[in-house]
Amino acid sequence: MKKVKLKVPATVANLVCGFDILGMAVYDPYDEMEFRLLETPEIIIKHIDSFGLPEEASKNVAGVVLLKIQEYFNLKIGFEVIIRKHIKPGSGLGSSAASAAGAVFGANILLGNKLSKEEMVYFAMFGEELASGVRHADNIAPCIYGGITLVKSSNPIDIIPLNSPDLFVTAVHPQVEVKTSDARQILKKNISLKSAVEQWGNIAGLVAGIQKNDYSLIGRSLNDVIIEPIRSILIPKFDKIKSKSLQLGALGGGISGSGPSIFMLSEQKETAEKTAQMMKSVYDEIEIENLIYVSKINPNGIQIVEEA
């Protein structure tokens, strides 16, 4: 195999109550990544998008992942990667995870599928570390495995792929800047036992609801008493969007990753689309530019578009 082209999906981390442990892949937006094997040990990164990301391998999220792989296998060959990013950096929709997970996934195909999924997660976490200073796997895991994943532990890596319910996801990305590092910095370092017990109940309820396709239980469990009350202050009209989505019949939702995107889950496409229209009108009214996405939960994750 000399060349491979991938579609790498956006992901929603945390799923409200599962901070740093739960995540879900969607179909839209997605990045396009094209890989070519080089006979020299170079890593060449080219971005065909307007986000101004660094192309020097050691400063690029995909680049650092490929450098780690090169070092680990002591490779005398290299990779050229052409990236067309559609997932905006800093959106809370797993933009850096897509570059990192896409990089290891593409390289693995060109190297003859030497790595397991868990090993791919290991390498991709170096990309997340470059982007946000933290090696978290809650976006990377669903990108690589597809569907919804539980990061039971990231050191040692223990990923549990969960069921992928037949639900629609509406996501809005209001164009305000929220850096993951800032959104982590403001969190409390200690929590009360009472809050912890409530959160355990929600996480356990959510995982049980996902496994049983019990949509009412999923809706009842999409509550976060620890992170959302703090982070939502950074997102304009968060409470209004959440309450209006529930009125329209969405099961529930909240901040996507560290924000500023907000996501909602719905059983019906019609509800998901009505929720999208409402989200757009809320942000249009206060003149905040916004991008809206409606898609199903993506059970497959990264998709191979072409191999040669």
Report the catalytic residues. Answer: 128, 180
* Tokens read off for 118: 């868990």
Q: How far apart are CB 181 and ligand HSE at their closest, in Å?
A: 9
Q: How far apart are CB 184 and ligand HSE at their closest, in Å?
A: 5
Rounded to 10 deg, the angle between the 95-110 and 61-72 helix axes is 30
Q: Which residue is nearest to ligand HSE (CB)?
A: 257
- Compare residues 94 and 209 and give the one whose CB is closer to ligand HSE: 94
- Compare residues 17 and 104 and give the one whose CB is closer to ligand HSE: 17
- Compare residues 108 and 180 and give the one whose CB is closer to ligand HSE: 180
Instruction: Give the residue ranges of DSSP H helices in the chain.
Output: 61-72, 95-110, 117-132, 140-145, 180-185, 193-212, 215-221, 228-231, 238-247, 269-285
Residues making contact with ligand HSE (CB under 6 A): 13-14, 19-20, 136, 138-139, 180, 183-184, 257-258
- Compare residues 5 and 135 and give the one whose CB is closer to ligand HSE: 135
Count other C-beta atoms under 10 Å from residue 266's C-beta: 26
Query: Counting Cβ atoms within 10 Å, is residue 3 exposed (0-12), middle (13-18) or buried (19+)?
Result: middle
Q: How far apart are CB 134 and ligand HSE at their closest, in Å?
A: 7
Alpha-carbon torsion, ordered 221, 222, 226, 228, to 10 deg: -170
Establish whether the linkage from the previous residue to 260 is cis, with ω within 30° of 0: yes
Q: How far apart are CB 154 and ligand HSE at their closest, in Å?
A: 11
